[in-house]
Amino acid sequence: LENADFIRYGVMHRNTFIDSTKLLNKSLNLKNNEKIFFAGQITGGEGYVAAMATGMMAAINLYHHMLGEDEFVLEDITSIGSIIKYITEEGKKTFQP
């Protein structure tokens, strides 16, 4: 590195996300507009598994919503249920992924 020329220094990954604890129901739709669903990194879930899990659950709940059926929510003791609980449970002073 003694003779290296740096063209541009690296930058940290920036994670943009909503405050899901205040905005989303457990079915991953907005509390103030049940027709809008969120999934993936924007919800505050981290990693491929959380992205897949929230995408799958948002899709299932969108389908239930379109049919006029009750939301589908997994129990908190399941891995997907615990991810959804973390990103939707109210009461946190600050929400960070």
For residue 2, is it within any domain?
no
- Tell me the per-residue pLDDT of 50-84, one tens digit each, with 9 for 90 and over: 999 999 999 999 999 999 999 999 999 999 999 99
For residue 76, is it within any domain?
yes
Q: Please give the model's pTM, rounded to 2 decimal places.
A: 0.82
pLDDT band, very low/low/confident/very high, at 27 (cuts 50, 70, 90): very high
Q: What angle do CA 35, 41, 47 make, to 5 degrees?
A: 135
Q: What per-residue confidence (pLDDT) applies to 5?
A: 83
Q: Which domain holds residue 61?
A: 20-88
Q: What is the C-alpha to C-alpha distance for residues 19 and 78, in angstroms, rounded to an integer?
A: 23
Number of domains in the chain: 1
Residue that wins the pLDDT comparison between 70 and 12: 70
